[in-house]
Amino acid sequence: MVLQTKLTKLVGIKHPIVQGGMQWVGTAELASAVSNAGGLGILTALTQPTPEHLRSEIRRCRTMTDKPFGVNLTLLPAMTPPPYAEYGDVIVQEGIKVVETAGNNPGEHIRKFKEAGIFVIHKCTSIRHALTAQRLGADMLSIDGFECAGHPGEDDVTGLILLPLAAKALKIPYIASGGFGDGTGLAAALALGAEGVNMGTRFLCTQEAPIHNNIKESMVKASERDTSLIFRTLHNSARVFRNKVAKEVIEIERKPGGAEFAEVAPLVSGARGKLVYENGDPDHGIWTAGQIVGLINDIPTCEVLVKRIVQEAEDTIRGRLEGMVVIESKL
């Protein structure tokens, strides 16, 4: 038995599980492992320092899997933005079939990808943004709840509310993101109208994830309370692993009158976060993690993880849920 959904049929994968695009982590090693396991692996475009490096990484990933994989292009606010158009050109030129977009003002990029026949999944943290992405031509949406790692938006609405709202509001299919990492979560997402799940943090804690094992062990030991929300006062909330740096940032933000970004910038630099993954010191910098860390208790291969999640979901649907439906006896 397999779980066949619109996601599996539209992008040609076996299981309705997508590996989220993660900075410094979405490389060929992880993306190919997820795809080989039957999910949809995702390379992160901006992990590569230049568009040409992305081209090389796409080609390297193709030597590691013959299954479908996609590329994430996240549009971030920046004084000097990356050459998004050039990254997009490489994605098109290399014949990528699925793109995950995220961030602000995706319209021109969605148009470019659609003109090239690419299937576009856009990540949203609110229904209003989802409706905009639908109007702009996205094929599918990834609805990101407040539980997620990274930027959950400013509405503080959980997936348990966002997903059924999406079912009522949207005309295109969607997958669930934020707080997913096991089979019961997958079954719940399907019950709430989603066509699958997008998992970031859970795939961080796999053998193929290209990060130091100390960081993976930190997630295994963590509880659901071991994440922090930073940048709240800057209206750019980010969920990160609770560590010394996150606590320091929050203290700075709590001072009377709030804080300017310049005051916390040295603490939250991407370079420090990258070194966390490379050197294994969980307190060296900021690194993203979702509340799902509370449900992570091992470091399996991607193949073992995906198979286990699908089996748990099937057991939940066919066992526990079906068993609750009974024919009421006539009196």
Same domain, 257 and 185: no
CA–CA gap between residue 111 and residue 126 (Å, rounded): 21
Check which CATH number belongs to the domain holding 191 and give it: 3.20.20.70
CA–CA gap between residue 164 and residue 88 (Å, rounded): 32
Greatest extent of the chain over all pairs of C-alpha atoms, in Å: 73
- Domain count for the chain, please give it: 2
Same domain, 225 and 162: no
CA–CA gap between residue 98 and residue 328 (Å, rounded): 46
Does any domain span residue 290? no
Provide the domain limits for residue 193. 6-211+304-324
Same domain, 308 and 318: yes
Confidence of residue 48 (pLDDT cuts 50, 70, 90): very high
Q: What tens digit of pLDDT does each residue of 204-223 get? A: 999 999 999 999 999 999 99
Say what the pLDDT of residue 107 is: 96
Percent residues over pLDDT 90 in the chain: 92
Does any domain span residue 124? yes
The CA–CA distances, whole Å, from 119 to 65, 78, 114 equal: 19, 27, 7
Same domain, 111 and 229: no
Q: What tens digit of pLDDT does each residue of 12-44 get? A: 999 999 999 999 999 999 999 999 999 999 999
- List the 17-19 sheet strands across, edge first: 17-19, 197-199, 174-177, 140-144, 119-124, 98-103, 69-75, 41-44
The dihedral built from the CA positions of residue 217, 218, 219 and 222, taken in this order, carries a sign that is positive
Backbone region of residue 44 per phi and psi (left: phi > 0; alpha: psi in -120 to 50; beta: other values): beta
Q: What tens digit of pLDDT does each residue of 61-90 get? A: 999 999 999 999 999 877 789 999 999 999
Does any domain span residue 53? yes
Does any domain span residue 12? yes
Does any domain span residue 200? yes
Same domain, 38 and 80: yes
Same domain, 182 and 66: yes
Say what the pLDDT of residue 243 is: 98
Q: What tens digit of pLDDT does each residue of 291-331 get? A: 999 999 999 999 999 999 999 999 999 998 988 988 887 54
Q: What tens digit of pLDDT does each residue of 255-299 get? A: 998 889 999 999 999 999 999 999 999 999 999 999 999 999 999
Same domain, 61 and 105: yes
Average confidence score pLDDT of the chain: 96
Same domain, 138 and 26: yes
Does any domain span residue 289? no
What single-letter amino acid sits at 257?
G
Same domain, 116 and 260: no
Same domain, 107 and 240: no
What's the gap between Cα 313 and its chain centre?
Answer: 19
Say what the pLDDT of residue 56 is: 98
Same domain, 97 and 131: yes
Same domain, 274 and 154: no
